Amino acid sequence: MLVGLALLAALAGAAVGLQLHAVNHWSGGFQVEAKIPICKEVDGWKVHLVFSVDVDTLECWVGKVAKQTSREFIVTNQEYNGVQHNGDTLAFTFLGHGTGDVDPDIEATVEGMGDCAGGTPGQTLPPGQTRPPGTHAPVTAPPNTGGGTSNKDYADALKKSILFYAAQRSGKLPANNPIKWRGDSALNDCVVGGWYDAGDHVKFALPFGSTTLVLLWGMHIFKDGYAKAGQLDEAYDMVKWATDYMLNAWNPRTKELVAQIGDGNDDHHFWGRAEDMTMARPCMKLGPGKPGSDVAGEWAAALAAGYLVFKEKGDTAYATKLLTAAESLYAWAKANPGTYTSSIQGAGQFYSSSGYKDEMCEGGVWLYRATNNQEYLSAAKTYHENAWAWALSWDDKKVACQLLLFEETQDAAYKQEVVGYMDGWLPSGQVSYTPCGLAWRDKWGANRYAGNSAFLALAAAEAGISTAKYRAWAIEQINFLLGDNNHDGGCFSYAIGVGTKYPKSPHHRSASCPDRPAPCSEANLHASGPSPQLLVGALVGGPDQSGNYKDDREDYVMNEVAIDYNSGYHSSLAGIVHLKATNNFPPTHNKCPCKA
């Protein structure tokens, strides 16, 4: 019997261990790819590993390693990957180091899981792993969402979406700016930095906050997806550009928040590079007598989520700055209820707010997560709305509030609201579908709405709600965006630069301009042919309800791009890379699969 097996059984609830074997070994070390089936809901996991030979050290990137003896190690979850669901596969790679050509037998057991995680009879074990002697086939097996395959390079699409956010940067660009056709711009703004909203050059606070929160939410739950894609550092740089701007836009002493920079009408009369702007850039603020708890609540949520992300990164000083700003913003928002469109003249012409309860609910939940202060959760509940959202969007976050509250309370009423929303989006629900299967909510950013609901579905699946069904539906939506459609003969990606066929004429001023010093004017808007600059990673608005699409810069309905258009799609990509990395990619069935 292996050394330590009796102790292991006692600690792990008498579970039968899963036998693991090295996929590679050499003088001084070995590599193991562990794939352990999960058969119950888990919030925090601990895997006991017992080796048949002495092992000096162990390295594991998705877990924390603690050495018990020379032959026993314990791997526990990181903060971001502790939740595992019934039907998941806990997959991770580790390296061991010892003396000589080390090729040990290994027994792995998940503490508290019972017999099933050590090889429940009847479960299909991953290749290269065998059940220990004495186990027998059961009558039924737990659900398994793994085993799907895909020819999409989701990691590449994620990398390119990060480049889109780099192309939207305003202010003084860093030395490592990857977008060579972009330079410093809007250096005299009242708050320098941030992202331009879309193909224009205004900085609108409500879609800005919504975008930042969705990106940070995705980083919080799918950090390993970024790591697997080799984009984790780039993702930190991406969101820090946004959170730095938010810190500078809020003055806790004067209680003033810059909520818009630039006049939408003046800006839209200018077609040219951001670097060449000469029009006035008015600074519009919320503050005493000018409420905007929709913007402030959303920004508080984003900053609190940023606290969790950067704290997990190890940057505690920066994380603390974000949390301090989030708390002061939320306190001001509670004390000054109202929508920002009632305070800023003309804002409603472009991004009119329908209310503030959903944003205040989000802010309360994320601050509760950051502080464990029960008062924030209580506040969030008071802002909760028992209604189904039309979509998850820059304006409507009711379903996000409902999902977040369910995660924190496990109250079935909140869960039912999320299920009701998803029922409306799944086939046979209220949302229309194009012939190739895009859930088509509206002509203005059809791809955006599908991407946002795909992310909501993946987040709900992580929370244990209809895990297999929601994962498959979400991936099918992203697959459509990345080529599982019939446009242009099929295999057409609506994300620029992804795949071999994609839009080349987005409605984007700077991308339509040739390299400087060549002039750029409205003539470039009307010019035929591809834009001179490739706006890599941008997700265009998308097809009409019949699935028709035209790559035409002047058609700003189908070809608009925007920071919020990419956000849900972007975080969905991280979630899908996470599913592939953990062997939880489900079978999918797109109507018009790309054959390339």
DSSP letter for 488, please: G
Cβ-proximal residues to 104 (8 Å cutoff; 6+ apart), any chain = 22, 30, 51, 52, 53, 55, 96
Measure the CA–CA gap between 555 and 273, rounded to whole angstroms. 19
Please report, for residues 170, 268, 341, 398, 587, the alpha-carbon distance to residue 354 in angstroms, rounded to integers and kept in the order given.
28, 24, 9, 11, 38
Closest CA to 299 of 333, 326, 268: 326
Q: ω into residue 517 within 30 of 0, thus cis?
A: yes
* 476 noted as active-site residue: no
Closest CA to 440 of 497, 495, 480: 480
Number of helical (H) and strand (E) elements in the chain, helices listed first: 18, 16
Cα torsion 134, 138, 143, 148: sign = positive
Measure the CA–CA gap between 174 and 154, rounded to whole angstroms. 27
Measure the CA–CA gap between 209 and 242, rounded to whole angstroms. 9
Closest CA to 202 of 346, 1, 385, 309: 346
Four-point Cα dihedral 127, 129, 131, 136, nearest 10: -10
Cβ-proximal residues to 315 (8 Å cutoff; 6+ apart), any chain = none
DSSP letter for 416, please: H
Closest CA to 55 of 100, 6, 5, 10: 100
Measure the CA–CA gap between 109 and 586, rounded to whole angstroms. 24
Four-point Cα dihedral 113, 114, 119, 123, nearest 10: -80
CB atoms within 10 A of CB 127: 8
Give residue for tokens 């984009």: 231
Q: Which amino acid is at 442?
A: D
User: Per the residue annotation, which of 275, 298, 358, 560 is the catalytic one?
Assistant: 560
Pairing of strands 105-110, 18-21: antiparallel
User: Per the residue annotation, which of 551, 552, 554, 564 is the catalytic one?
Assistant: 551
Question: Both tokens of residue 288?
Answer: 């005493």
Q: What angle do CA 101, 103, 109 make, to 5 degrees?
A: 145
What are the phi and psi torsion angles at 380 (to 5°)? -60, -40
User: Is residue 33 within 8 Å of 60, Cβ to Cβ?
Assistant: no
* 385 noted as active-site residue: no
Measure the CA–CA gap between 135 and 11, rounded to whole angstroms. 20
> Residues with catalytic annotation?
551, 560
